[in-house]
Structure 1
């Protein structure tokens, strides 16, 4: 069991990330106000992206930088939980929200633009995070519990 340590969204591609304290999560939009969650092509497997705080910290240490986690462009920063490294695992956030892991979040060239070597630092063991689909919506907030559903 872990907790949500951060929530971020961006309104359109390449837009700056907005860090928020709480968000509405829906089947149609993912994180409300985040462009990626509402993309077409049902089921859309990349509605919500999650990254482990420890993985981001390890990558920062590896490249010798201290860049804010939101620059990874992930929606949720997770502390205290090893995110599953396979598709089909359900994650419950708070009382209502359920996500299902879909694919690894592959590090892109944007990471290399942030810091030389960052793309490679995020590559092993799904360190760049996981993308998920929304199974059940609701409200989430920083500090909410996140756990794997058995």
Structure 2
């Protein structure tokens, strides 16, 4: 199964502005270049499925852009594996080991009442991972399970 990267975002500081990108460098040392979470072991990079975001915002009765979730990568036509230890390849070079579910925080309810609860089931809040192999990724790149 192959999906695609539909969006890339980063934020340099907690609660800071979100920057949308067409392409970005990703490294094992720093995650998404310029993102505040690059030094975290379990969630250097965060990914969310477009369909999950759409379903959760619809349940909450909100029309919000995906980057309000503060995830780094929006994926389309791809089901993120649940559970740790699965590796995904993005484009030709980047490999990310998915390590954890990203639990939605109270901040989601500040965006839309009920959004936090709508993001809780079935990993809808997204997955966090560690960069195993770095490189440059771009919107439109393929994402697939690494064998």
TM-score by length of 1: 0.96
Query: Aligned equivalents of 1:105 and 1:69: distance in 2?
Result: 15
Query: Aligned equivalents of 1:94 and 1:67: distance in 2?
Result: 27
Matched, 1:122 2:123: no
Q: Give the SS at the match of 2:53.
A: helix
Matched, 1:17 2:14: no
Gaps of 5+ in 2: none
Q: Specify the alignment match of 2:35 in structure 1.
A: 34
Q: CA deviation at 1:149?
A: 1.2
Q: 1:1-150 counterparts in 2 under 5 A?
A: 1-39=2-40, 44-150=41-147
Query: Aligned equivalents of 2:84 and 2:54: distance in 1?
Result: 24
Query: Aligned equivalents of 1:3 and 1:80: distance in 2?
Result: 7
* Structure 1 runs of 4+ with >2 Å offset: none
TM-score by length of 2: 0.98
The RMSD of aligned alpha carbons is: 0.6
Query: Aligned equivalents of 1:143 and 1:25: distance in 2?
Result: 16
Q: CA deviation at 1:10?
A: 0.2
Gaps of 5+ in 1: none
Query: Aligned equivalents of 1:73 and 1:118: distance in 2?
Result: 14
Q: Give the SS at the match of 2:74.
A: strand
Q: CA deviation at 1:38?
A: 2.6
Aligned residue pairs total 146
Deviations 1:75-133 (A, max 9, x none): 00000000001100000000000000000000001101000000000000000000000
